[in-house]
A = this chain, B = another copy of it.
Amino acid sequence: MSEAEDSHVFNIDKSNFSGWFSEILKTADLVDLRYDVKGFVVYRPWLMRMAKELYSSWEKELESRGHDPTLFPVVIPEENFEREKDHVEGFSPEVFWVTRAGDSDLEERLALRPTSEAAFYTLYSLWIRSHSDLPLKLYQSCAVYRYDTKATKPLIRGREFLWIEAHDVFETEDQALAQVESDIETTRAILEGLLGIPMLFFRRPAFDKFPGAVDTYAADALMPDGRAVQLPSTHNLGQGFAKSYGIIFEDAKGEKRIPHQTCYGPPISRSLAALISIHGDRKGLVLPFPIAPTQVVIVPIIYRGHREAVLEKCHELAEALKQAGLRATVDQSDRNPGMKFYYWEMKGVPVRAEIGPRDLESGAVTLVRRDTGEKTQVNFEKCLEAVRGMGMDIVDKLRERASEELHDHIAEADDMESLSDHLASRGGFVRIPFCSRDFDGEECAERIKELTDGEVRGTIFGDDQVPENLECVVCGEPATCFVMVARSY
C-alpha cells in the first residue's frame, strides 16, 4: 500500500468523537482549516456540493410554503442596527465592523450582518402599507458573521457560517404562531425526512431566547459525545421589531395596526456538521442518499482480457442512472478495487456497484450499501429500481438508528445529584422538574450550569405536563414545569 493510498484509509472509533470529527474533516477533504483567519474555513468541493443540495432542498420547501427569495446587502448601517434595543444589546459584542474603504474612514460604520432583522425590517416599513401586502414571507440564503469569543469549532461554531433566514410578517398573532408550526414542519421535512436527523423541539427559556423575540423555538440534535447541538430556530417576534422599525399596516376596516412577525434560521453549516457526526462511523462518512454528491460509485472489477467489456458495462450503468437523475460515477483510477472500496466508503457514498466478468456473464450487478455493508446481486435491468429503493431505505435506517440513539439518551432526574450523574456518565437530555413555567428561572439555570455543565434547553414543544408535588431540583420551590437539561455545543 503506497503512502498516498494509505492516506485514504480511515479507521477511527467514534467514541473519541472530537478526534474522529477533526480527522474526517481532513481525510474526506471537507473543509480546510488553514485559512489565516480564526473561525473562517474553506468549503471544499465534496462538502460544498452537499451544502448546495441542502440549500436547494430547504429553499424548495420554504417556497412550497409561500416564501419568496430575496437578497439584502451584507452590511447594515449602525443606525439601523441600533433601532431595536434588546436586539442590539444581544448582538453588539459579536459584530464585525467595516470602518474604512480605500484610504478613508467611512462616515458611518457598517455592521457585517450577524443576522438581518435590521436590514429587512427597515425596508419592510416601506413595503408594507395595507393588509393586502400581508402575509409577507421572504427568505435569503447567505453567510452571516459573528465574532463569537467562545472556542470555535469548524461547521459547528464559526465566525462565518452559512444559513437561510426567513422573515415573515402577519396581520394576526394566530397567523404568526401558525408560522412557527409551519417552520417546525419544514425543519422536520428537511432534517428528519431528507437527512435522517432526529431532533427534539424546544421552547427556549426566556433568558436564552433570540434578542428582541417574544419566544424562541429551536430544535436540538444529539451529537455522538452526548452533547446537544442547536439546529434551526424559529422566533415569534411579536410586535416589538415592528414598533421599533415603524412597520404599520391598514387593516380591512381602514385602521392602522401593528403586524406580528416571525423569523426562522435554518443553519446550513451546522446541519452538515450534525449530518457528518451523527451518521458517520469507523470507516468515515455515511451520507444520506438525497444529499450525497455521488450517490452511486461504480467500481469495475477487471481481470485480464475482460477490461473493455467490463468498462463498457460500467459506463452503460452510469449513463442509465444519470438519465434517471441520479449522481453516479465510474471509478476508473489506477487504484486496485480494495483501495477504491476504502476510499469511497470513507467519502460516504451510499451505494457501491461492482461489475466484474462474472457479472457480465450472469447479467447481474453487485450492490453494496454503505450503512450496513450488505451486498445484493441484482439483475442489470432492475438496477435503477434497486438503487432507488436502497437509497430510500438507507435514509430510513439511518434515521431509525439515530432515533434510537437519541431516545436512549433521554433520562429523567428529580434531584441535582442524579441530574449531574446522568450528564457526566451518558450525556444526552435529562428531564427535570423546574421552578418556573415562565422561564424566569435564570438563577436556577445558572446554578445547574455551574454544578453540572448542563444547560436548561427549555420545555419540549407541546409538553404541557404540570409536575404534581415535585420540587425544582435547584431551589426546592414547587416545580411548575418540566425542562430538559443537556451539555451543549
Which residues of A pack against B, CB within 8 Å? 32, 34-37, 40-45, 48-49, 51-52, 68-75, 77, 79-80, 92-103, 109-110, 112, 119, 122-123, 126-127, 138, 143, 145, 147, 149, 160, 162
A394 to chain B, nearest CB (A): 24
Determine the chain B residues whose CB is within 8 A of the CB of A37 once the complex forms.
73, 75, 77, 110
Instruction: Please measure, in the bound complex, the distance between the C-alpha atom of A43 and the C-alpha atom of B141, giving whole angstroms.
Output: 12
From B48, B70, B112, contact of A44 by CB (8 A): B70
**Residue of chain B at shortest CB distance from A4:** B132
- Chain B residues within 8 Å of A69, by CB: 45, 48-49, 52
**Nearest CB on B from A87, distance (A):** 15
CB contact between A68 and one of B45, B77, B101 (< 8 Å): that residue: B45
A99 and B100 contact, CB distance less than 8 A: yes
Q: A41 — which chain B residues lie within 8 A by C-beta?
A: 73
Determine how close the nearest CB of chain B comes to the CB of A273; give it in whole angstroms.
15
User: Are A101 and B110 in contact, with the CB atoms below 8 A?
Assistant: no
Whether A126 contacts B73 by the Cβ 8 Å rule is no
**For A43, what are the chain B residues with a Cβ–Cβ distance below 8 Å?**
70-72
In the complex, what residue of chain B is closest to A112 when comparing beta carbons?
A: B98
Closest to A48 in B: B69
Task: Tell me how far the C-beta of A148 lies from the nearest C-beta in chain B, rounded to whole angstroms.
Answer: 10
Majority-rule SS of A interface residues: mixed
- In contact, A97 and B94 (Cβ under 8 angstroms): no
Nearest to A46 among chain B residues (CB) is: B68
| Contacting residue for A51 out of B71, B103, B147, CB 8 A | B71
Closest to A41 in B: B73
The CA-CA distance from A365 to B52 in the complex, in Å, is 39
A35 to B125, CA, bound (A): 12
**21 A-B contacts (beta carbon < 8 Å):** A32-B123, A36-B77, A37-B73, A37-B110, A40-B75, A42-B70, A42-B73, A43-B71, A48-B68, A48-B69, A48-B70, A52-B69, A71-B162, A73-B160, A74-B145, A75-B160, A94-B101, A97-B100, A99-B99, A99-B100, A102-B147
Known: A45-B70, A73-B37, A160-B74. A99 touches B97 (CB 8 A): yes
Distance to closest chain B CB from A24 (angstroms): 18
4 further contact pairs, Cβ within 8 A, besides A42-B70, A97-B100: A32-B126, A93-B102, A94-B102, A96-B98
Determine if B35 and A72 form an interchain contact, defined as CB atoms under 8 angstroms apart: yes
Least CB distance, A81 to chain B, in whole angstroms: 11
Set of chain B residues within 8 Å of A101, measured between Cβ atoms: 94-97, 147
Per the bound structure, the CA–CA distance linking A377 and B72 in Å amounts to: 43
Q: Which residues of chain B come closer than 8 Å to A143, judged between CB atoms?
A: 74
Q: Which residue of B lies closest to A103 (CB)?
A: B93
Is A138 in contact with B45, judged by CB distance below 8 angstroms? yes
| A35, A71, A94: residue with the most chain B Cβ atoms closer than 10 Å | A71
The docked-state distance in angstroms from the alpha carbon of A142 to that of B49 is 15
Residue in B closest to A34 when the chains form the complex, CB atoms: B126
Give A453 Cβ to nearest chain B Cβ, in Å. Answer: 25
**Complex interface: chain B residues within 8 A of A147 (CB):** 101-102
Residues of B close to A102: CB separation below 8 A: 92-95, 147, 149
Q: A98-B96, A147-B101 are in contact. Are A72 and B42 (CB under 8 A)?
A: yes
Cα distance A398–B98 in the bound complex, in angstroms? 43
CA distance A123 to B145 in the complex (A): 22
Closest residue to A147 on the B side, CB-wise? B101
